[in-house]
Amino acid sequence: MSIRGRFAILGSMALIAVACSGGASTPPASVAASQPAATGGTESTAPTASASAAPIAGGLLEKILKSGKLVVSTDPKYPPQSELEPDGTYKGFDIDVATEIAKRLGVTVEFVTPDWTAITAGGWGGRWDVSVGSMTITVDRKKVLDFSPPYYYTPAQMAASTHSGITTLDGLAGKTICSGEGTTYDQWLNGTLDYGTGQDLGKPPAGIKSTTLPTDTDCPDQWKSKRFDFDGWLSSITTVDGAIKAGLPLVKVGDPVFYEPLAVAVDKKGPADTDFMPILSKIIADMHSDGTLTAFSQKSFSADYTVAAK
């Protein structure tokens, strides 16, 4: 427990430093609120600019401001969004975004790492406050989680093993396609992905079978191990690019099959969040308009994924 706490604190300290130096070119939207966190993570109990009205008693905002820290769930098996450094700190796009949100709330950030399926299932029991984990807003998840507006959008990219020789989407027809457990990619492959916006998300190649492994990157890793139980892999373009960069035996197949709005999530069963969500939404809107998110996206992905592509 103590070790985990130490890592989290070390992580948040280092990341605050990173975020400060990285975001120096773009002035923070609420300078007053960001000061306490910027000066080395001292706890702030002073009311922030964004929280001028008294927070709901026992609510999420009160909890965060009182404890002086934002507890964020992250999955460090998911670079370049979230990964570990050799010294045990975290880095990545989601880590940058979470750190910046905490900074603008005037609190420090702390990361916890429950299993992805435990995050998407809701019922967090107050053990963490928000998920800044590139989570797609879907109808099913909306039943248990409240979402902020999207902070970025990633294309979903189909890939195939070089071993299969497949180079087109049609070539995957009738084949088995792998994706991560509990991901929107698995839902899309099974035709159950629904954003609740009536948007047409297209259809997978005819007659495909889907299979899952615990996390997205497990799929191409099987090909590296010379297991070819499946020929295709569906994941975020950022993850697919990472695998290709790491020299794994796969190729991208076709154009992105659909686009995902990714947002910060809050547990519906947790402390009341009706005063927190507008503040969170405002922070994200500010981070869009002042270029902070674009800068983070360029830094982690060498591309700007902060604008809806479709």
Contacts with other proteins, residue ranges (CB under 8 A):
1, 3-4, 7, 76-79, 83-84, 86-88, 112-115, 118, 121, 123-127, 215, 217-218, 220-221, 224-225, 243, 246, 248, 269
In angstroms, the CA 310 to CA 308 distance is 6
For other proteins, the closer CB: 221 or 286:
221
- The least CB distance from residue 269 to other proteins, in Å, is 8
The one-letter amino acid code at 123 reads G
In angstroms, the CA 247 to CA 204 distance is 26
Residues 6+ apart with CB under 8 A from 171: 160, 253
- Tell which residue, 133, 149, 162, 166, has the closest CA to residue 236: 133
- Per the CB < 8 A criterion, the answer to whether 101 and 264 are in contact is yes
Residues 6+ apart with CB under 8 A from 67: 107
In angstroms, the CA 148 to CA 264 distance is 5
- The least CB distance from residue 82 to other proteins, in Å, is 8
Q: Could you give the 3-state DSSP secondary structure of residue 217? A: coil
For other proteins, the closer CB: 125 or 207:
125
For other proteins, the closer CB: 113 or 161:
113
- The least CB distance from residue 146 to other proteins, in Å, is 17
Give the count of beta carbons closer than 10 Å to the beta carbon of residue 143. Answer: 9
- The least CB distance from residue 5 to other proteins, in Å, is 10
For other proteins, the closer CB: 272 or 285:
272
Estimate to the nearest angstrom the gap between the alpha carbon of 182 and the chain centroid: 14
For other proteins, the closer CB: 124 or 258:
124
- The least CB distance from residue 288 to other proteins, in Å, is 27
- The least CB distance from residue 123 to other proteins, in Å, is 5
Q: Which alpha helices (DSSP H) does the chain contain, by range?
A: 2-22, 31-38, 60-67, 93-105, 116-120, 139-142, 184-189, 218-224, 237-245, 276-289, 292-301
For other proteins, the closer CB: 33 or 213:
213
In angstroms, the CA 251 to CA 160 distance is 6
- The least CB distance from residue 262 to other proteins, in Å, is 18
- The least CB distance from residue 163 to other proteins, in Å, is 16
Say how many residues make up the chain.
310
In angstroms, the CA 32 to CA 104 distance is 9
For other proteins, the closer CB: 221 or 275:
221
The one-letter amino acid code at 273 reads D
For other proteins, the closer CB: 55 or 80:
80
